[in-house]
Amino acid sequence: MSTTITITGAGGQIGYALLFRIAAGDLLGPDEKVRLRLLEIPQGLKSAEGAALELQDGAFGLLEDVEVTDSAAVAFDRCDLALLVGARPRGPGMERGDLLAANAGIFGPQGAAIAENASPGVRVTVVGNPANTNALIAAASADGVPAERFTALTRLDENRARAQLALALEAPVAAVRRVPIWGNHSATQFPDVSHATVDGRPAAAALAERVGDVTAWLETTFIPRVAKRGAEIIDVRGSSSVASAANATIDHVRDWVRGTDDWTSAGVVSHGEYGVPEGLICSFPVRSVDGEWRIVEDLEPDDWARERIAASVAELVDEREAVRSLGLL
Ligand code: NAD
Ligand code: LMR
């Protein structure tokens, strides 16, 4: 048995950072063989073919097969895991939503090709921006595939939030848990520290000791730092995040397939949880149980948190309207 994994945009930057880690077993563990399907547009084929040659040269024991193609039907044929990375990245001064017109058109046809060709239990992770709304478009075009199988990557935001909180607490990042992201993978997202733990114990008192007025610190330092980290990376390195995005993609898919022992974050379809309109792909605190994401329910965000969640959800609603007006939904 082996798992067939399709990576779109495999000739791009994140694709290059993902492929070798998947082949090395970081995604599914040291015992699971993988077959890779690399989808590119014609201009990107050479780059993906070069990566395929290097995959051969890695002599990875888990790698059964690599196929490079510009046909979505071939790429998604019997695929178990689809990583939809292929899309234009933003440049300096842009918001991720500015990519809607350029990228949204990619995801309808890919959703349809997944429905026609993939394995019945396919799991789809959208990385290409704006990730939540692209996932919504793909899900809407995938007749017969439950919307729960379409997710958007917000794990990078969570990893950033945990890392910034760990710095503030002067704690090891591995000890810091339960820092979920709510809403959109955009500057409106709400990284929520109200349930954060350090070594399993509530972090609130230690945080107040370090930063003083926690609300002021969240508003002026922590939330902007996390929510605008993508732009900071673009400013500093000249192009958008790559290895950290690939790393978060691996975290997301691994946890989806293998389960979690605590909360994490993922953009998943809303059934109305926390008042989020049904059908939106929104980031929530989630657990992965029996191969499915389950939204953590019964939390009670205070008014301040509710306002922030609502602002990000309003942006998702606006994005959905924008793609409707482009005729893509
Ligand atoms: P890149 O430009 O290096 O690579 C994108 C690749 O996609 C290119 O090789 C291009 O040829 C290919 N492509 C374009 N249209 C395609 C299509 N229809 N089918 C298949 N392939 C196609 O960009 P990158 O740095 O790899 O970033 C990819 C996307 O991921 C961007 O939209 C970026 O904004 C997004 N991103 C998301 C997150 C996140 O956390 N959700 C993090 C980082 C980057
Ligand atoms: C990120 O969060 O780093 C990516 O979504 C890229 C971007 O445009 O910010």
What gap in Å lies between CA 132 and CA 177, rounded to an integer?
23
Is the pTM above the cut of 0.75? yes
- Is 195 tagged catalytic? no
DSSP 8-state class, residue 97: G
Whether the bond into 285 is cis, omega within 30 of 0 = no
What gap in Å lies between CA 56 and CA 54, rounded to an integer?
5
pLDDT at residue number 104:
87
pLDDT at residue number 97:
84
What gap in Å lies between CA 41 and CA 48, rounded to an integer?
10
Q: Single out the catalytic residue among 185, 195, 252, 271.
A: 185
Give buried/exposed letters for 113-136 (b at 16+ CB in 10 A, else e): bbbebbbeebbbbbbbbbbbbbbb
Q: What is the pLDDT of residues 208-223, one digit of tens each?
A: 999 999 999 999 999 9
pLDDT at residue number 152:
98
**Residue 91 in this model has a pLDDT that exceeds 90:** no
pLDDT at residue number 101:
86
Q: What is the pLDDT of residues 255-280, one digit of tens each?
A: 999 999 999 999 999 999 999 999 99
**Residue 143 in this model has a pLDDT that exceeds 90:** yes
Q: How confident is the model at residue 155 (pLDDT cuts 50, 70, 90)?
A: very high
Lowest mean pLDDT among 44-48, 93-97, 115-119: 93-97
Ligand 1 pocket, 128 CB below 6 A? yes
Residue identifier of the C-alpha nearest atom 5 of ligand 2: 230
Residue identifier of the C-alpha nearest atom 9 of ligand 2: 230
Ligand 1 pocket, 40 CB below 6 A? yes
Ligand 1 pocket, 39 CB below 6 A? yes
Locate tokens 């996932």: which residue?
135
CB-based contacts of 254: which residues, under 8 Å, 6+ apart? 26, 27, 28
- Average pLDDT in the chain: 97
Q: Which domains does the chain have, with CATH numbers?
A: 2-152 (3.40.50.720), 155-320 (3.90.110.10)
pLDDT at residue number 71:
98
Give the residues across from 152 on adjacent strands: 126, 267
Q: Calculate how far, in angstroms, residue 17's C-alpha sits from the geometric centre of ligand 1.
A: 12
**Residue 308 in this model has a pLDDT that exceeds 90:** yes
Q: How confident is the model at residue 168 (pLDDT cuts 50, 70, 90)?
A: very high
- As a whole number, mean pLDDT of residues 136-158 equals 98
Ligand 2 atom closest to residue 231's alpha carbon, by position in its atom list: 9
**Residue 199 in this model has a pLDDT that exceeds 90:** yes
- As a whole number, mean pLDDT of residues 242-260 equals 98
Residue of 127, 156, 185, 226 to mutate, ligand 1, most atoms within 8 A of C-beta: 127
pLDDT at residue number 241:
97
Both tokens of 78, joined, read 């019997």
